[in-house]
Amino acid sequence: MCGRRGGQGYGLIGGHLGQDQCHACKGYGHWRRDCPYHNYLELANERFHINNELVPTILEKPIKSLGRWYSAELKDSKQVEQLKQDTISGLRQINSTALPGKLKLWCFQFGLLPRLMWPISIYEVTLSHANRLERLVNAQVRKWLGLPRCLSSIGLYGSGVLSLPISSLVEEYKCAKAGLEMTLTESRDPFVRGAAPTLATGRKWKPSAAVAEAKTSLRHRDIVGHVQHGRNGLGMEATTPTWQKATPAEQRHMVVEEVRHQEEAARCARAVSQAQQGRWMKWEGVERRRITWSELWSMEASRLSFTIRAVYDVLPSPTNLHLWYGEEPACPQCAAPASLKHILVGCKISLTQGRYTWRHNQVLKCLAAELEKRRVKINSMPPNSQPVAPWKMSFVRGGEKRGSKPAPPEAGALTVARDWEMRVDLSQRLIFPSEIAVTNLRPDLVLWSKSCRRVFIVELTVPWEEVIGEAYERKRLRYANLAAEAEGRGWSVKVWPVEVGCRGFVSRTTTKLLKEMGIRGQAQRRAVKELAATAEQSSHWLWLKRRDISLAAK
């Protein structure tokens, strides 16, 4: 008989009480070969064999296809629980090795995380389960990097002023679901588009809504065009392709990147509400710092931990210890409340002992070395008999081969002369050149040329990152009268106040100075990294010696 029994298969129809009727074939007690339910019963009773070996059904044994297990329950609850156990087991195996924390982090990033992403993508994993998995990962990552438990996950996965080469499991989860949604709904096969299922991710987050929001944002960006971001100026940000002109593959990539951007915007919104760990949101005019894996290998574990904790102000300073454990918050040297800012830039005893001066001179040596290389290179070049012609584009005719690309001419403000001189206020007391002006001021670096009567006055400051703008204005006004006096003598003067933050963040005025001097491209990036590393290492030394009262920097 027909297999559709129960409330759907029985009824009082046509006055036939108690007769079995199939709603599909309208048959009473007899078979119809064209009924799909009758055919299903016949197929269910059929067993298949391969080489006289019985093929088990899905009721007897689950089936795995393309990395996904199919069972008779038609649910993914067991697979999600198994995913959690695999995550715990993988983290436990990595943690049980004798590798240092940086290598354990590398094993997770390139070993365990890629193995977890495919099950997360194909199974019905909700956002709540992904958050639970990320909390398990965060505990181990903090342990491997030597970070306290109070550090927010924004410091681990955020792309703010300091970004680490670690991927967030929740962010990768959302990007994978958004990419799968785009693959199914934007497929070129109409049958795939029509049969695209609704991805089950819980009630907190929907891939379809996230993709729709990303598309709306990208279309709105095409309408508005390029705009100014922050105070960098119009055109300073990298250009992005337009949504209308992008190919389907590019559109899928743009949607995934927009989902990443939305996740980063959510992190920034949470960082604004954090009174202590979110102070980096107030930093203006600093270059973002990205720690790569190559830099991670070269950094000591204590230095890496200091850098991350210093940015988010979770170092065990007396003020933080008083907040956490109720200890005395006084500075061991001057008895003032010893916050991280006080220890690195604000202690009067450390200033009189010359510790801050020592750090300032270390950074100045690095900056002077870069400018000295550029000065020697420019002075060794042959003199220019005529202005350098601008670089022209070479066209290739049909049938011809492209020749070697001509090297662009040397750029920068130093190319106008070959007699540049430089003085630095380091080992000897700097005396300002009398032919320019007579003054008692001692700028950190003076670079001048007698032939073209041009002079650059560079003043370096290693301040707290939140007051970089104030330090720039203060140094600029300090040398305004000196610049006016030199201009009265016929000199072209340019004052360059530059700042390198005490925690290793270079200001944009420093990068502009390097670019003005002709240090660009890879040389500029290398110089910025050296300046940041020098300031960071010096501040790390000051932090380690914070309890030494009578020790002066050497």
pLDDT digits over 307-360, tens only?
999 999 999 999 999 888 888 888 888 888 899 999 999 999 999 999 999 999
Alpha-carbon distance 75 to 124, whole Å?
A: 8
What is the DSSP annotation of 271-336? HHT-TTTTGGGG--SB--EE--HHHHHHS-HHHHHHHHHHHTT-S--HHHHHHHH----B-TTT-S
Write the CB contacts of 472 (distance below 8 Å, at least 6 apart in sequence).
285, 461, 497, 499, 507, 509
CB count in 10 Å sphere of residue 427: 7
- If pLDDT is split at 50, 70 and 90, which confidence band does 3 have? very low
Residue 365 has pLDDT above 60, yes or no: yes
Which residues in 436-472 are b (16+ Cβ under 10 Å) and which e?
Answer: bbeeeeebbbbbbbeebbbbbbbbbbbbbbebbbebb
Inter-residue long-range contacts of 69-75, CB under 8 Å, 24+ positions, other chains counted: 75/124
**Encoded tokens for 529:** 């990294």
Residue 44 has pLDDT above 70, yes or no: no
Torsion of CA 92, 94, 96, 99, to 10 degrees: -160
Write the CB contacts of 106 (distance below 8 Å, at least 6 apart in sequence).
293
Mean pLDDT of 435-456: 93
How much is the mean pLDDT over the chain?
Answer: 86
**Encoded tokens for 170:** 């929740």
User: Which residue, 107, 124, 16, 37, is CA-closest to 73?
Assistant: 124
Residue 494 has pLDDT above 80, yes or no: yes
Alpha-carbon distance 491 to 447, whole Å?
A: 12
Residue 396 has pLDDT above 80, yes or no: no
The helix (run of H) or strand (run of E) holding residue 171 is helix 169-185
18 vs 199, which has greater pLDDT? Answer: 199
> Which residue has tokens 């497929």?
187
Mapped onto helix, strand or coil, the DSSP state of residue 172 is: helix
Torsion of CA 450, 455, 459, 465, to 10 degrees: -140
- If pLDDT is split at 50, 70 and 90, which confidence band does 554 have? very low
Specify the pLDDT at position 93.
96
Pairing mode of beta strands 289-290, 492-499: unpaired
Specify the pLDDT at position 64.
86
- If pLDDT is split at 50, 70 and 90, which confidence band does 13 have? very low
- If pLDDT is split at 50, 70 and 90, which confidence band does 60 have? confident
Mean pLDDT of 400-417: 72
Mean pLDDT of 5-13: 39
Specify the pLDDT at position 152.
94
Domain boundaries, the chain: 77-228+242-272, 289-344, 355-381+412-544
**Encoded tokens for 109:** 């990033």
- If pLDDT is split at 50, 70 and 90, which confidence band does 512 have? very high
